[in-house]
A and B are shown apart, each in its own frame.
Chain A
Amino acid sequence: MKDKRMTLKEAVSKYTWDGCTLNIGSICAREPMAVAHEIIRQGRKNITFVTDTTSDPAELLVAADCFSRIEAAYIWIGVVGQGYNIRRAVEEGIPHHIEIEPYSNYTAGLRLMAGAMGVPFLPTKSLLGSDIITHNPKIKVIDDPYGSGPVALVPAANPDTTFIHVQRSDMAGNCQIWGMLGNDDYAARAAKNVVITCEEIVPTGEIRKIPNMTVIPEYVVSAVVELPFGCHPLSVTGCYWMDNPFRQEFIKASRTRDGILAWMDEWVYGVEDHKQYLDKVGRDRLAKLQELEQDNCMIPEIICRTREGM
């Protein structure tokens, strides 16, 4: 059994670099904010961010001037706010102009699926007739050679590195995910390097009890980081619920450039690592978020049935 465990600092240092192509898996639930914080602390620049839909982590990485280009379906903070940082970047070039290559959620997923299957593109009946095609030169519309009419082709994506947060993994990177999967099964297989962050590292024997839950097998994984509460203030199914008051503070700070710089000084640059961040959030608060989630959803304990005489 390979031991791929390392610290978040080591994983970000080894698997991201200036100018790399980056994907951070999942959407809203299981989006690892702690990864965004560490990328910012290590001062990465000129990253091309490839994703489907993303919320708080991308907003923060834009604010910290880590990105030069985004290929995505949706960059915003929905429901509780809006994308103040992405708006400032695109509309005013602050801190730095960002080009967005537009996709839809399905077609962003198809790009990762193509990347994961080792084919150059996939066809779809989405996007047809829309201006996503007008403003994205990579999407081609052809006549289906088998006669169904027009189809749009989307190019494969193979990011340099994908970070995916899961509930549990063993130390080799066999990952089990509860709740919705987003496009993570393909995002992992499409990437050249995969860093798994997880709430808990479990013995491989636990994984083997319920192999149908293994979404990502160890052979696609480069590193495993145990990172409890790695998604705070976002949620993780069966673990903890969203901390909206915290997000609202972040969004309020994002309204002005000075506001978000001060927020980052306090919450990103002002802490040494994720553990210090969690101490600053407060253990009592984190316990309450666990309670709000686990009142509604718990990860089942796996007990294998045994036949008599075995």
Chain B
Amino acid sequence: MSKYAEDYTISEMMAAVCSLQIKNDDVAFVGVGIPLMAGAVAAATHAPEVIIVYEGGGVGAKSRRMPWTISDTPTTDNALAATAMHRVFGDQQRGFITVGIIGGAEIDKYGNLNTTTIFGENGTYHHPKVRLPGSGGANDIASSARRTVIVMRLEKGKFVNKVDFITSPGFLSGPGAREKAGLLGDGPSAVVTDRGLFKFDQETKEMYLEAIYPGMNVEQIKELIDWELKVSPQLYVMDPPTVEQITVMRTLDPMGTVLGRKSLRGEIEPFDVYYNSLKKSYQSRTITL
């Protein structure tokens, strides 16, 4: 049997690619959504010693259940520490967090992220076209984690020349700008999308296409991006997720709560289906402490 999965969704591919950005010796801060799943997959596969830190204060949990947010109860199941939000963010500002993974709604070529507001025509901060959640901890992660990984879907109008609102700083206006602003972290190291993986040029700090997913094509990707996208001369096609990665994801997230298979469609599962599905998921996993 092939080690690669044949049947997988794009969200699962994104989570798998994102998980590979986490290394065994990382202390990783993971945000809501695909980043949460990427952390769980990394810990269950190639990075068993990674310490996942959640914003609410959970450190190094070993849980049979998937956290759905950065502060719900699984974030401290069998944890190494259950501490406070200001404590883990202080640890990050101090330099202990080696990688932070965050999502975004709008991004520019320097990796500046917007999750606050889309102004629209004649819109202002207080009277925008679309209000988004705001920073949460993303600004702090983008400011002070030693490196950040960004996860977002590549859709027309989201990879723009200038974001409406810099919620989380990337390289700001280019080389030297982070240092001048006084930021501690090194800035974004990768952008994981639903079509390919992007990285940042060491000199120009500009985002470029590093690799594409199976079946994707560069020209289509270029059309979705507002700036003149540069492509790596060593561009390659990435491997699909492994059977092992997909098995972990589907066991941990049987209802697709995190990867959005159901929740995005607004389906509501009856309570008993919910209860039985979670019960079964917990029973199928053994945790060694």
Name A residues whose Cβ lies closer than 8 Å to a Cβ of B: 26-29, 52-53, 55, 72-76, 78-81, 83, 86-87, 90-91, 97, 99-100, 102-107, 109-110, 112-113, 124-132, 135, 148-151, 178-186, 235-238, 241-246, 248-249, 252, 285, 288, 291-293, 295-297
Chain B proximity of A62: nearest CB distance (Å): 11
Q: Considering the complex, which residues of chain B in the window 215-270 have a beta carbon less than 8 Å from any beta carbon of chain A?
A: 257-258, 263, 266, 268-270
* Cβ B64 vs Cβ A296 within 8 A: yes
Can you give 23 contacting A-B residue pairs, CB < 8 Å? A53-B137, A72-B134, A73-B134, A73-B135, A100-B131, A103-B135, A104-B138, A104-B139, A105-B85, A113-B86, A128-B181, A131-B166, A180-B54, A180-B76, A182-B56, A185-B84, A235-B73, A241-B73, A241-B278, A248-B268, A285-B271, A292-B275, A296-B74
* Cβ B139 vs Cβ A26 within 8 A: no
Complex interface bits, B266-288 against A, C-beta within 8 A gives 1, otherwise 0? 10111100110011001000000
| Residue with the greatest number of chain B CB neighbours at <10 A, chosen from A29, A293, A295 | A29
Residues of A with C-beta under 8 A to B271: 243, 245-246, 285, 288
* Cβ B55 vs Cβ A105 within 8 A: yes
* Cβ B69 vs Cβ A78 within 8 A: yes
Residues of B with C-beta under 8 A to A246: 271
Residues of A with C-beta under 8 A to B129: 91
Take A73-B134, A244-B257, A292-B278 as given contacts and tell me if A150 and B181 are in contact as well, using a CB distance cutoff of 8 Å. yes
**How far is A68 from B252 in the complex, measured between Cα atoms in Å?**
40
Instruction: Closest A residue to B182 by CB, please name it.
Output: A150
**How far is A30 from B83 in the complex, measured between Cα atoms in Å?**
14
The A-B contact count (CB < 8 A) is 246
Instruction: Closest A residue to B267 by CB, please name it.
Output: A248
* Cβ B136 vs Cβ A73 within 8 A: yes
**How far is A55 from B77 in the complex, measured between Cα atoms in Å?**
21
Q: Is B207 an interface residue (CB 8 A)?
A: no
**How far is A104 from B137 in the complex, measured between Cα atoms in Å?**
6
The B interface is mostly helix, strand or loop, or mixed, namely loop
* Cβ B165 vs Cβ A131 within 8 A: yes
**How far is A150 from B128 in the complex, measured between Cα atoms in Å?**
30
Q: Is B96 an interface residue (CB 8 A)?
A: no
Complex interface bits, B168-207 against A, C-beta within 8 A gives 1, otherwise 0? 1100100001100111100000000000000000000000
Instruction: Closest B residue to A136 by CB, please name it.
Output: B125
Q: Considering the complex, which residues of chain B in the window 63-84 have a beta carbon less than 8 Å from any beta carbon of chain A?
A: 63-65, 68-78, 82-84
* Cβ B282 vs Cβ A179 within 8 A: no
Residues of B with C-beta under 8 A to A135: 125, 165
Name B residues whose Cβ lies closer than 8 Å to a Cβ of A: 32-33, 54-58, 63-65, 68-78, 82-87, 89-90, 92-93, 116, 125-140, 143-144, 165-169, 172, 177-178, 181-184, 257-258, 263, 266, 268-271, 274-275, 278-279, 282
* Cβ B136 vs Cβ A105 within 8 A: yes
Residues of A with C-beta under 8 A to B278: 241, 292
Which 8 residue pairs are nearest across A and B when measured between Cβ atoms?
Answer: A76-B133, A150-B182, A129-B181, A180-B56, A106-B89, A180-B57, A109-B86, A74-B136
Chain B proximity of A119: nearest CB distance (Å): 14
Chain B proximity of A189: nearest CB distance (Å): 12
Residues of A with C-beta under 8 A to B72: 28-29, 235, 242
Residues of A with C-beta under 8 A to B82: 178-181, 237
Chain A proximity of B225: nearest CB distance (Å): 22
Residues of A with C-beta under 8 A to B74: 296
